[in-house]
Amino acid sequence: MTVRRRWNTLRAQFTLVVFLLAFIPNAALTLSAGRSLGLFGGAVPLALWLLLVAVLSAAVGWILSATMLRPLLRLESELESATFDAQAPAGAHSDDPSEIVALRQAFSQLLRGLHTEQQRRGAFMATLVHDLKTPLIATGHLIRTLAHRPLPELERHALGDHLLTENQRLLGLVQQMADAHRYEREDVHLNRAPTDLNALMERVAARLQSQAELRGIRLTVAPQGHWDAEVDAAVLERALANLTDNALRYARRQVTLRAGPAGLSVLDDGPGLASSIESLAQPFNAQPVEIAGQHYTAGTAGLGLYIVRRVAEAHGGSLLYTREADQTVMTLHLPSAVPSAAPHTPSPSEHIPPEVHP
């Protein structure tokens, strides 16, 4: 510790205050009494007496500061030596004043939050590695099959389509990671323009239709009229795709995209959310959850919900969760959504047979 830092401490300042409060009155009384009563025989004895008073005043100040600041110095020592126990009760030391107890509580809460965040990020990274390995392994098998086995033309095309699907899945995960990392560090930058929300829903449904069919899920679009909004179409489309992908993870038979006065909603017949939307819509949440007696692996779903929440907030809205007729309803609320006079043309996804099997 440098000299400058040593004297720029709270203890040094406390000692200086006590020294001044003790020395100045004593010096004034000594000088006054010395002149009037002639107690000192000259300047040297007077100077020695004042020096003794100064030393005693400084010593008293140093001792008092150590006594008064002992709880704070102990807390500083525990933090510097990494022996601070965030799980210990805040009043573990009987001589801690209420201010130090409050400070310990704040540090404990901060450290527990950091520990929880580290655990969440560790679990998320493990899940992400697994989610990235799955399409990479599948892609490797498909490439080896295409390279080393003679295949009929139809089978070769089917393998090529499967390869493209796995590649799109991998790119989607990477895009989610990039979006979540960017949105965690900075604001979402938007290029707003008048956008047809119905057409945007149609594009998302068309993109995820094959994924829904593979899972045996009926994916439909059911707009409540025709709606426009002043939004960033590209950013909003990615957010709606993330919300729909999450719904396909948990739906049993049906997922519906709906545009209305509240904005864009995704409905599914899954079990609903086990926790609040605030706790689930986090960028690094991969903890497994239990819903209606069934265990679900969150995987990278937290990324999708976090991206949707940040995009909704950037548009002046929010991400809302409700239950409606035994359905989970996730709404990307858009205050700028307004009805359009354009007629709605039914999409192919609205005429999908009642049940699709993979």
Within a 10 A sphere around the Cβ of 279, how many other Cβ atoms?
12
Domains belonging to the chain, first-starting first, are 3-68 (no CATH), 99-185 (1.10.287), 193-351 (3.30.565.10)
User: Which tokens hold the place of 139?
Assistant: 């892609």
CA dist., res. 81 & res. 103, Å (int): 17
Structure confidence at residue 223 (pLDDT):
79
Helix (H, G, I), strand (E, B) or coil at 285: coil
Structure confidence at residue 128 (pLDDT):
67
pLDDT digits (tens, 9 = 90+) for 165-199: 778 777 877 777 777 777 776 777 889 999 999 99
CA dist., res. 36 & res. 52, Å (int): 21
pLDDT under 50 in the chain at which residues?
1, 3, 288-299, 344-358
Q: What are the DSSP calls for 109-171, one per residue?
A: HHHHHHHHHHHHHHHHHHHHHHHHHHHHHHHHHHHHHHHHS---HHHHHHHHHHHHHHHHHHH
Structure confidence at residue 187 (pLDDT):
75
Spell out where the chain has E strands.
193-196, 218-221, 227-231, 254-260, 263-268, 289-291, 294-296, 318-323, 328-333, 338-339
Q: Sheet of 263-268: strands edge to edge? A: 218-221, 254-260, 263-268, 328-333, 318-323
Within a 10 A sphere around the Cβ of 117, how many other Cβ atoms?
12
pTM of this prediction exceeds 0.95? no
DSSP state for residue 348 in the 8-state scheme: G
Burial status of residue 138 (CB atoms within 10 A of its CB: 0-12, 13-18, 19 or more): middle
Structure confidence at residue 295 (pLDDT):
41
Closest by Cα among 185, 184, 203 to 302: 184
Structure confidence at residue 68 (pLDDT):
79
Overall residue count recorded for the chain in this entry: 358
Closest by Cα among 67, 55, 73, 65 to 17: 65
User: Which tokens hold the place of 120?
Assistant: 């969440």
Structure confidence at residue 70 (pLDDT):
81
Structure confidence at residue 290 (pLDDT):
43
Structure confidence at residue 274 (pLDDT):
65
331, 256 Cβ separation under 8 angstroms: no
Residue 47 CA, chain-centre distance (Å), reads 65
* 33-41 own/partner pairs: CB under 8 Å, 24+ apart: none
Structure confidence at residue 280 (pLDDT):
65
Structure confidence at residue 14 (pLDDT):
79
Whose tokens are 């679900």? That residue is 296
242, 176 Cβ separation under 8 angstroms: yes
Structure confidence at residue 196 (pLDDT):
92
CA dist., res. 204 & res. 221, Å (int): 10
Structure confidence at residue 197 (pLDDT):
92
289, 296 Cβ separation under 8 angstroms: yes
DSSP state for residue 335 in the 8-state scheme: T
